[in-house]
Amino acid sequence: QQKVQQSPESLIVPEGGMASLNCTSSDRNVDYFWWYRQHSGKSPKMLMSIFSNGEKEEGRFTVHLNKASLHTSLHIRDSQPSDSALYLCAASDYGSSGNKLIFGIGTLLSVKP
Amino acid sequence: EAAVTQSPRSKVAVTGGKVTLSCHQTNNHDYMYWYRQDTGHGLRLIHYSYVADSTEKGDIPDGYKASRPSQENFSLILELASLSQTAVYFCASSDRDWGGIAFGSGTRLTVL
């Protein structure tokens, strides 16, 4: 079973709409979360990270974290066709495994003009 | 510009042959990683390294060896390539302050 589970597997939103992506870890020791974006044929690029409970906003992107449920979500407002990509969630148990990231399978986002 | 550079960009290998994938980073990072990406499995960690001359097994190390001869270089070796090792391989690096990991552009390996 994947230690990092993402939902939905795929998502279609209209241009200008809101995209909401979810990620949950089954490892109770996880304490760091990252979101990466991977355009087709390219390598993953880090979007945002979150370590504390609550919300973090950077431009059109907002990340939430609930450490009690080990759930994080990424919200993209005013979605653009250029946001169409695979979004990967990653988690780390920094205390025991240092900088070792475990990735989910990803959510494939398609933004339709 | 600091970067993670992988070579080759793509490779076709024969079953049973030896394959070496190379990675060079100019980020001055201590940590380096090898991941493979397959449809339906996402990114899976093969080997990683905290320091030169030392490597650690990741989640799927079987069939792979790794070598870290210097801080800048990290290689992935497939001694006997198999069909199941067809995938895209990514090298990555990170620093001790833990700002996340930076990926190279990937190597597409096809084993026939």
Q: B10-13 and B107-111 as β-strands: parallel, antiparallel, unpaired?
A: parallel
Beta carbons of A104 and B94 less than 8 Å apart:
no
Q: Which residues of B touch A88 (CB under 8 A)?
A: 42-43
* DSSP character at residue A94: H
Q: What is the pLDDT of residues B49-87, one digit of tens each?
A: 989 999 999 999 999 999 999 999 999 999 999 999 999
Tell me the pLDDT band of A92, cut-offs 50, 70 and 90: confident
DSSP tally for chain A: helices H, then strands E: 1, 11
CA B28 to chain centre: 17
Beta carbons of A98 and B43 less than 8 Å apart:
no
Q: Which residues of B touch A42 (CB under 8 A)?
A: 105
Dihedral sign for Cα atoms in the order B89, B93, B94, B100: negative
pLDDT at B28: 87
Q: For residue B31, give the nearest of A32, A88, A99 by CB distance.
A: A99
Q: For residue B100, give the nearest of A2, A34, A43 by CB distance.
A: A34
SS3 A45: strand
Q: What is the mean pLDDT of residues A23-39?
A: 91
SS3 B83: helix
Tokens representing residue A13 in the block: 């939103």
